[in-house]
Structures are given as C-alpha cells and as structure tokens.
C-alpha cells in the first residue's frame, strides 16, 4: 500500500500565526453579519448561512485537526489546499443558491408586473372604451 | 367566438397606430389590446388615441412576459380565441384572421404564421437566417413535426393553449420554447404560410455575434425543455 503517499508523507499544516489571523477574521466576519442584521440590511433568512460559515471558519482556526481530517478525506497533503477547496465549494454552492433565489424573485416580479398591467387596463377602460 | 387580438409592443410609437387600425379592419369582432412592455416613447398614448385598450407593464420585462400578460388576461376574461401580432407592423392582420379561422374551425390548438413558405420578399440577416434554420431543425426534431418559422410572433390560439401559456411561459425564448412546450403538452400545433412585411423602421438590433450567442442559449433552453415533464406543470408557487 506504499502508493498511498498522502498517508505517509509529512502533512503541511497551518502555522499558529495563520490560525490566529483566521480566528480574528472569523470573529470580525460574524460581528459584521450581526451588525448588518441589526441595521436591517440583511434579512435573517439569508444571514444564517453566512453566520454558519463564520462559525466554521472559527472552528477551523481553533481545531486544526478538523482541517487535517478534511485534507485527508479529499486526498491532499497540504492542509491549506484542503481549506481552499472546501471554501471554494461552499462559495460555489452559495452563489448557486443565490441564483436560484434571484430566479424565483424575478419570476415573482414578472407576475406582479403582469398583474399591475392587467389592472391598469381596467383603470383606463372608462375613458377609452369604444372598441367592439 | 369571443376573440382577443393582442399586440405586444416595446417602443413602437411610430407603428402602433397603423397596426391597431389594421387589426380593427381585418379582425372585426375582436377586442384589441396593446401590451405595452415598459415603452419610454409614448407607445401607450398612441395606442389609446387609436382607440385600443392598453395594458402597461410598469417596466420592460421582455417579450415573453408581455405575451403571457395577454394570455393571462384572455383566460381571466373568458376569451375563447386569441390572436397576436407584433407591434412593429410586420404582421398583416389579414393574415392573422386566417390563423384565427384555423383555430376557430378546431383544426389546431395553436396556429403559427410562417414567413418562409411564401415569396414575400422577407429578408433577414444571414446569421439570423442560419439561426432560424437551426431552431427549425431542432424544434422540428424535438416535436416530430415540421415547423419552419419558430420565432414567429404571429399566432392564434384557443383556450387550451392559452391556459398552458398563462401557467408557464419562457420569458427570453418565448416563441421557440413555447412551441416545444405546446407539442409536449399534447396540443395540436399547426403552421400556415403567411406573407410578412419587412420591419417598418428600425433595424434588427441583433449582430452576428449576438445572434450566435442567442442561438447557443436557445439550444440549451431547448435541450433542457426536452427534459421537462411532458404534461403541463402547475403554476409556480408564490413562495416556498
């Protein structure tokens, strides 16, 4: 089983400094989200996922074993690459989610516009009704 | 039969009056409704002056949303027959009357006027023409019937087709996708040759590159459309 190099080669870990920076950023990120909710700039329903992401960042900084586990699962020796891969995946999923939300809202806006257009006929029909 | 003729129009102030008068003349008993897709040039005012009723979308929503407004209105107001022509004056209403007669006679649920079957002097840019051929090929393959003019905006339909389109209608690829949708929903779609006029004014805004991109997008939409369930889908929920 010597071809399973990833298991035997030394693992590249995060430096303590990187972990501290990550933890600080995670805390700041979560504070920012709380502030956005407080100022009504962000709806709660969209904030939860971001808050969870902040928590995950904090967890990654606090428990580096977690990142190593992830790196091992996806088969990379460098923990930072594992980290980047996971973050990329999450961002990809989030942006897809927002496209879905945008599509739904655009459909709703269209329906509203159509309703409003149909109602606008009834308003002007009194003055211009001469067809038929 | 209670008939509606609707005219989707986006910035067609120069031609809309003539189109309305044409529709009045050639489809006598019909109610004429202009669907103003957020025009900024006074299309709605012109249309009202010509004596038509106007449904004004508050902002431009695209041709599909405008068509669908017509279908929703026709369904809600009990119209049994519905015809549509573009607001730019390239569709003679006399030809629409022929389409309406086909639907009224019960020969199809949806009748489309095709400009390619007759020597009408209708010329389109080569890229557009190639695209239309390609659409035609694909839609014809997908629907297993020959449809030559898949982007035609001259159509007549009965309540069955209206109901389908009022429920779900593509916003960006309106004409092409709705043909596929109609056939897959089990409707009888028929194409009859009509003569069309060149656009009265204004050139087609589509460049070759733009056309290529549009064709590509439409191909994807059609492929996805083939994967949709064949029966009509229920109306999208307001929220989940």
Residue A117: which of B29, B48, B69 has the nearest Cβ?
A: B69
The pLDDT, as a whole number, for residue A78 is 86
Q: Which residue of A has its CA nearest to B23?
A: A131
ipTM: 0.81
pTM: 0.80
Angle B154-B159-B164 (CA atoms, 0-180°, nearest 5)? Answer: 80
What distance, in Å, lies between the first and last C-alpha atoms of chain A? 86
Would you give per-residue pLDDT tens digits along chain B (240 residues)?
Answer: 899 999 999 999 999 999 999 999 999 999 999 999 999 999 999 999 999 999 999 999 999 999 999 999 999 999 999 999 999 999 999 999 999 999 999 999 999 999 875 545 556 666 667 777 888 888 888 778 888 888 889 999 999 999 999 999 987 778 888 998 999 899 999 999 998 887 655 445 556 777 778 778 888 888 888 888 765 544 444 443
pLDDT at residue number A131? 43
A65 and chain B: CB distance < 8 Å anywhere?
A: no
Q: What's the whole-number average pLDDT of chain A?
A: 84
Rounded mean pLDDT, A44-72: 88
Are the Cβ atoms of A128 and B65 closer than 8 angstroms? Answer: no
CA torsion sign for A67, A71, A72, A77 is negative
CA distance A129 to chain B (A): 7
Chain A residue numbers touching B170 (CB-CB < 8 A): none
| The pLDDT of residue B66 | 96
More reliable by pLDDT, A130 or B72: B72
Distance in Å from the first CA to the final CA of chain B:
39
Residues A66 and A70: their CA atoms lie apart, in Å, by 6
At residue A17, the pLDDT reads 92
Strand arrangement, sheet containing B81-84: B53-57, B31-37, B3-9, B81-84, B155-158, B110-114, B189-193
- How much is the pLDDT for A9? 64
Place of tokens 């010509």: B50
| Residue with the two structure tokens 């669907």 | B35
For residue A132, pLDDT beyond 50: no
Contacts of A130 in chain B (CB under 8 A): 51
- The total of other beta-carbon atoms located within 10 Å of residue B143's CB is 18
What is the per-residue pLDDT for A127? 44
Average pLDDT over residues A27-51: 90
CB B167 within 8 A of CB B73: no
Across residues A110-121, what is the average pLDDT? 94
Contacts across the A-B interface (CB distance below 8 Å): 62
Q: Do A108 and B55 touch (CB under 8 A)?
A: no
> Mind listing the pLDDT tens digit for each residue in A76-103?
888 888 888 988 999 999 999 999 999 9
**pLDDT for residue A107:** 92
Cβ-Cβ contacts under 8 Å, A109 against chain B: 61
Query: Is residue A9 less than 8 Å (CB to CB) from chain B?
Result: no
């Amino acid at each position: 089983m010597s071809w399973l190099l990833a298991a035997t080669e030394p693992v590249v870990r995060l430096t303590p400094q990187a972990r501290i920076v990550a933890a600080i950023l995670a805390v700041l990120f979560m504070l920012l989200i709380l502030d956005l909710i407080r100022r009504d700039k962000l709806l709660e329903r969209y904030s939860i996922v971001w808050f969870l992401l902040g928590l995950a960042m904090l967890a990654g900084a606090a428990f580096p074993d977690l990142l190593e586990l992830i790196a091992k699962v996806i088969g990379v020796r460098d923990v930072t690459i594992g980290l980047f891969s996971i973050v990329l995946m999450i961002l990809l999923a989030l942006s897809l989610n927002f496209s879905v939300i945008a599509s739904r809202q655009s459909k709703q806006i269209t329906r509203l516009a159509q309703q409003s257009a149909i109602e606008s006929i009834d308003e002007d029909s009194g003055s211009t009704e001469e067809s038929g | 039969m209670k008939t509606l003729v609707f005219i989707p129009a986006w910035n067609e102030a120069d031609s809309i009056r003539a189109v309305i008068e044409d529709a009045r003349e050639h489809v006598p008993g019909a109610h004429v409704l202009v669907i103003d897709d957020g025009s900024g040039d006074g299309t709605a005012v012109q249309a009202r002056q010509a004596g038509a009723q106007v449904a004004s979308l508050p902002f431009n929503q695209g041709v599909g949303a405008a068509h669908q407004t017509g279908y929703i209105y026709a369904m809600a107001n009990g119209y049994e027959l519905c015809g549509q022509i573009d607001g730019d004056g390239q569709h003679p209403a006399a030809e629409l009357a022929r389409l309406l007669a086909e639907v009224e006679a019960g020969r199809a649920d949806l009748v489309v006027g095709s400009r390619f079957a007759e020597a009408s002097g209708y010329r389109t840019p080569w890229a557009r023409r190639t695209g239309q051929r390609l659409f035609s090929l694909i839609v014809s393959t997908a629907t297993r019937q020959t449809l030559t003019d898949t982007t035609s905006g001259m159509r007549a339909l009965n309540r069955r087709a209206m109901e389908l389109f009022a429920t779900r209608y593509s916003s960006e690829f309106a004409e092409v996708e709705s043909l596929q949708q109609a056939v897959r929903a089990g409707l009888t779609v028929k194409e009859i040759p009509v003569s069309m006029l060149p656009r009265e004014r204004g050139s087609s805004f589509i460049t070759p590159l733009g056309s290529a991109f549009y064709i590509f997008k439409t191909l994807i939409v059609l492929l996805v459309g083939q994967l949709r369930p064949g029966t009509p889908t229920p109306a999208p929920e307001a929220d989940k």
